[in-house]
Amino acid sequence: MTAVTVVFAAMGLVALVSAFLVVTSDQIIHAALWLVVTLGAVAGLYVLLAAELVAWVQVLIYMGSVVVLLLFALMLTRTPTGPGSATVTRNQPLATVVAGATTVALGAVMWAGFGGEVIDEDEVRVGTAARLGDAIFRTWVLPFEVLSVVLLAALVGAIVLTRRGER
Nearest Cα to Cα of residue 52 among 126, 134, 130: 126
Of residues 83 and 139, the one with the C-beta less far from another protein:
139
Q: Which of 82, 125, 142, 145 binds another protein (CB under 8 A)?
A: 125
Instruction: Show Cβ contacts of residue 38 under 8 Å, excluding neighbours closer than 6 positions.
Output: 15, 18, 19, 22
CA atoms within 13 A on the CB side of 88: 11
Q: Which of 30, 75, 83, 114 binds another protein (CB under 8 A)?
A: 114
∠ Cα 9 34 110 (to 5°): 40
Of residues 77 and 166, the one with the C-beta less far from another protein:
77
As a whole number of angstroms, the distance between CA 154 and CA 151 comes to 5
Instruction: Show Cβ contacts of residue 49 under 8 Å, excluding neighbours closer than 6 positions.
Output: 119
CB of 166 to another protein, least distance (A): 14
Residues 43 to 102: which contact another protein by CB under 8 A?
A: 45-46, 48-51, 53-54, 57-58, 61-62, 65-66, 69-70, 73-74, 76-77, 79, 85-92, 94-96, 98-102
Q: Which of 82, 140, 145, 166 binds another protein (CB under 8 A)?
A: 140
Does 22 engage in binding with another protein (CB under 8 A)? yes
